[in-house]
């Protein structure tokens, strides 16, 4: 091939018209404006071009009445291949009705023959602008849909999510570290879901789960008859995850011989199935997770240093939950709603002392332990609010342990709004507690009006934990 095109990856436009003169004119006009034009003479050729283009056309310009088919069919084919493709219909006077129908069926607009070239060029520009906006909105929607899955507004989790957003579009390997239950797999999934790979599989393999021989075929696949018992061909996780993401969990437990093979796969982007003579290309983004001290594993010789460097291009460290307590209320709330729905129970909140106990516990099992605690509590709850008695003793006993530290500035700073929010919540909870849930009394204890208290309770989703029977609303003002 000759030198690269002057306009890097110019926008492709498909022009469909049976009139050679018009086809040529459109080609010249649009190329002059920097588009990469493919011009075809009829419906059948258009269908072929639409189906076979490596990427869907952003824009199709089609005549309506052609000897071998209709522009309406071109429109339908283009939209079937990619709904984001925009279609502009060119119509003669006699087919204006069909053009209106085309717009109803999803065409961007139509132009009547004869047309001003400037009018057409403007329309093409606008249609492509819409195409871009639609694609951008889709991309953002998908990102938004994926991201709220990770709950956490603490400074530490915000920093993690910022990093996730920045690295998601790349194919960098990422090493995710953190104690058991801190959400490593959840973050790996968030990376996959916010990347262009989201439509392809996200697979997880526990590297310590299988003996070496089985592990190799699990990862890289095997040919039929590769070893005794290999009665059929096995694709292997790398090829199953092709186009997607593979999370290597507890990567430090991979047998050393396989670590060498894994490193090769990461570098060459090709796998050799057990018993195969040929390597097969794979396109997989690899993420690794571990709750061990990886540097120590390297020092001890159980994790190869070269593999460690290859995996650890970016490291995401998830702090234990006890070091980001700001996240506890939102996590507990999220889990409570989910389990209440799953179990079909009318549980809507936590009593103040239960909320306080949850926020004060140390959680050696981190987010997973909180999740299990809330699941159990929802199952046990006999009222609309989860009470202290619904929590396991080790959590219920945490009330009042750690609360003073809110007024100290942590070494890595804090999120002032989140801290003030938490201070307000705790004082509200304490006042409700002391007043036995009587809101007028709680308002008095806090020196605020009843309205103000009610507003604040709503803000903290505490309104529901107030016992409505003890209702004390003053006669409405």
Ligand X SMILES: Nc1ncnc2c1ncn2[C@@H]1O[C@H](COP(=O)(O)OP(=O)(O)OP(=O)(O)O)[C@@H](O)[C@H]1O
Task: CB nearer to Mg ion: give 176 or 340.
Answer: 176
Binding mask 208-247 for Mg ion (x = CB under 5 A): ----------------------------------------
The encoded tokens of residue 216 equal 């190799």
Of 19, 185, 323, 472, the one binding Mg ion by CB under 5 A: 185
User: N- to C-terminal Cα distance for the chain?
Assistant: 82
- C-alpha to C-alpha distances, 69 to 91, 325, 414, nearest whole angstrom: 14, 65, 66
- C-alpha to C-alpha distances, 50 to 37, 63, 235, 251, nearest whole angstrom: 13, 15, 32, 44
**Residue 138, number of CB atoms within 10 A of its CB:** 12
Is residue 444 a contact residue for ligand X (CB under 6 A)?
no
For residue 377, what is the DSSP state?
Answer: H
Q: Using DSSP, how many helices (H) and how many strands (E) does the chain show?
A: 19, 16
Binding mask 279-308 for ligand X (x = CB under 6 A): ----------x-x-----------------
Task: CB nearer to ligand X: give 158 or 345.
Answer: 158
Minimum CB–partner distance for residue 351 and ligand X (Å) = 23
State the binding partner of 36 from Mg ion, ligand X, none, CB within 5 to 8 A by kind: none
Task: CB nearer to ligand X: give 151 or 294.
Answer: 151
Yes or no: say if 233 and 278 are a contact pair by the CB < 8 Å rule: no
Determine the residue with CB nearest ligand X.
183
Of 337, 338, 368, 384, the one binding ligand X by CB under 6 A: 368
Task: CB nearer to ligand X: give 13 or 176.
Answer: 176
Is residue 185 a contact residue for ligand X (CB under 6 A)?
yes
State the binding partner of 282 from ligand X, Mg ion, none, CB within 5 to 8 A by kind: none
Task: CB nearer to ligand X: give 151 or 391.
Answer: 151
Choose the stretch contacting Mg ion; rule: CB under 5 A; options: 176-184, 335-343, 443-451, 457-465: 176-184
What is the C-alpha to C-alpha distance for residues 113 and 120, in angstroms, rounded to an integer? 11
SS3 call for 36: strand
Yes or no: say if 277 and 232 are a contact pair by the CB < 8 Å rule: no
Yes or no: say if 153 and 333 are a contact pair by the CB < 8 Å rule: no
Binding mask 186-205 for ligand X (x = CB under 6 A): x-------------------
Q: Is the dihedral of CA 53, 55, 61, 66 positive or negative?
A: positive
The encoded tokens of residue 63 equal 């005549």
The encoded tokens of residue 59 equal 């824009």
Task: CB nearer to ligand X: give 102 or 395.
Answer: 395
- Using CB under 5 A, list all residues that contact Mg ion: 184-185
Name the site residues for ligand X (rule: CB under 6 A): 150-152, 178, 180-186, 289, 291, 331, 367-368, 371
């Amino acid at each position: 091939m000759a030198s690269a095109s002057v306009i890097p990856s110019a926008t492709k436009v498909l022009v469909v018209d049976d009139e050679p003169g018009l086809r040529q004119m459109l080609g010249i006009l649009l190329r002059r404006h920097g588009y990469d034009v493919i011009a075809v003479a009829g419906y059948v050729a258009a269908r072929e071009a639409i189906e076979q283009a490596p990427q869907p056309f952003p824009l199709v310009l089609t005549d309506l009445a052609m000897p071998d088919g209709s522009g309406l069919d071109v429109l339908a084919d283009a939209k079937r291949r990619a709904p984001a493709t925009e279609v502009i219909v060119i119509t003669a006077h006699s087919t204006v009705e069909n053009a209106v129908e085309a717009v109803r069926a999803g065409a961007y607009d139509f132009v009547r023959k004869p047309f001003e070239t400037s009018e057409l060029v403007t329309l093409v520009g606008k249609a492509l602008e819409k195409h871009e906006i639609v694609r951008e909105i889709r991309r953002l929607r998908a990102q938004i849909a994926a991201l709220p899955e990770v709950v956490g507004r603490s400074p530490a989790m915000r920093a993690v999510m910022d990093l996730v957003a920045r690295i998601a579009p790349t194919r960098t390997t990422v090493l995710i570290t953190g104690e058991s239950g801190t959400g490593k797999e959840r973050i790996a999934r968030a990376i996959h879901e916010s990347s262009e790979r989201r439509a392809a599989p996200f697979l997880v393999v526990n590297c310590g789960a299988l003996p070496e021989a089985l592990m190799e075929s699990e990862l890289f696949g095997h040919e039929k008859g590769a070893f005794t018992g290999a009665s059929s061909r096995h694709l292997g996780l790398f090829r199953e995850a092709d186009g997607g993401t593979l999370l290597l969990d507890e990567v430090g437990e991979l047998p050393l011989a396989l670590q060498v093979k894994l490193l090769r796969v990461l570098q060459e982007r090709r796998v050799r199935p057990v018993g195969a003579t040929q390597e097969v290309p794979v396109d997989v983004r690899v993420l690794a997770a571990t709750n061990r001290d990886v540097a120590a594993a390297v020092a001890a010789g159980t994790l190869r240093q070269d593999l460690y460097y290859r995996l650890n291009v970016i490291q995401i460290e998830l702090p234990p939950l006890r070091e980001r307590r700001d996240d506890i209320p939102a996590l507990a709330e999220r889990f409570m709603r989910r389990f209440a729905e799953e179990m079909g129970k009318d549980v809507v909140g936590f009593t103040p002392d239960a909320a306080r106990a949850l926020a004060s516990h140390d959680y050696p099992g981190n987010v997973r332990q909180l999740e299990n605690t809330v699941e159990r509590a929802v199952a046990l709850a006999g009222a609309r609010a989860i009470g202290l008695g619904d929590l396991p003793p080790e959590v219920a006993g945490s009330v009042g342990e750690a609360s003073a530290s809110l007024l100290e500035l942590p070494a890595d700073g804090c999120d002032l709004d989140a801290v003030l929010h938490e201070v307000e919540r705790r004082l509200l909870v304490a006042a409700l507690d002391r007043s036995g849930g009587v809101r007028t009394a709680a308002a008095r204890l806090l020196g605020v009006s009843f309205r103000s208290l009610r507003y604040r309770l709503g803000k903290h989703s505490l309104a529901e934990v107030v016992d409505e029977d003890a209702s004390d609303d003053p006669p409405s003002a």
